[in-house]
Structure 1
């Protein structure tokens, strides 16, 4: 069964658009141009990404259209992209793509949406083998709606 992204993200995205409550710090925005350090011969996480590891961040991008979509997650890329994984794995993904884990829909295929998305969650950096065997190096663990309820201003 495919879960529409609007079902899993709709509440979280609408709650995330509220201004932070008094005393709560704003969530830093991370741009895709800031994700990788390209100054050397190999790609590696930027100093900003390493500094934000473990923190909540906001990222805006496009869901990658995958031939074989991960369960309970999707890849967020800086531009619209379609991946043909046959024989190439995730080689069609831009190197700065981030694996987004949708905790409210574990094990479910998240339905593709072509529109730009703003996601907020905890940034994780480092090698990890996901349950389906995919290897990820940058992950955003998406906030669940109940995580944000304390951040909604009361009127």
Structure 2
């Protein structure tokens, strides 16, 4: 098993990032009104967190971000359109503003990311709405960790 770690302790954090588990996102079982955020997720909003998951293998990677899920997932945007199999806990990992033109190559196996968690609806340039985002701090990815779009390089 190969591990990839993206970002260390954020410069904007006074303390170490809080580890957040996927089971801490939504109340289970799901109630009659749908998904309800847990107190842990609400408390983590706007705070530095550490999350371990799997990068979504995308047919069409998007510059400046990648998707992280609790289990390995492959997306075929061309074939499936918006009918993807992404879990509700999918987190959009946003690269720092100075690296938004970069594409991070897919990495198999678990990925640990550290960043500031945002919870609530937000629409990206493609029209996709995300409810969970993790904003990486500047310098979270080394220069060799990503490459200018449309080429992708491995993250080590």
Q: If the TM-score is normalised by the length of the shorter chain, which range does it land in?
A: 0.7 to 0.9
Long gaps (5+) in structure 1? 1-8, 17-23, 147-155
Aligned length: 131
Whole-Å separation in 1 of the counterparts to 2:37 and 2:82:
21
Residue segments in structure 2 that go unaligned for 5+ positions in a row: 141-156
Inter-CA distance 122–132: structure 2 relative to 1 (3 Å threshold): same
- The residue number in structure 2 matching 1:95 is 88
Give a deviation string over 1:84-119, Cα, whole Å, max 9, x none: 223442621111111100114203222111131110
* Superposition misfits of 4+ residues, deviation over 4 angstroms: none
> Do structure 1's residue 65 and structure 2's residue 57 form an aligned pair?
yes
1:107 is matched with which residue?
101
Return the alpha-carbon distance in structure 1 between the equivalents of residues 83 and 62 of structure 2.
11
- Give 1:31's match in structure 2, choosing from 14, 21, 24: 21
CA RMSD of aligned residues (A): 2.4
Partner Cα distance (2:66, 2:139) in 1: 18
Question: Secondary structure, in 3 states, of the residue corresponding to 2:87?
Answer: coil
How many Å apart are 1:70 and its aligned residue?
2.1
Match of 1:118 in 2: 112
Deviations for 1:12-31, whole angstroms, at most 9, x for unmatched residues? Answer: 54x44xxxxxxx42211001
User: If the length of structure 1 is used for normalisation, what is the TM-score?
Assistant: 0.74
Deviation per CA, 1:22-44: give whole Å up to 9, x if none: xx422110011111223313123
Q: TM-score under structure 2 normalisation?
A: 0.73
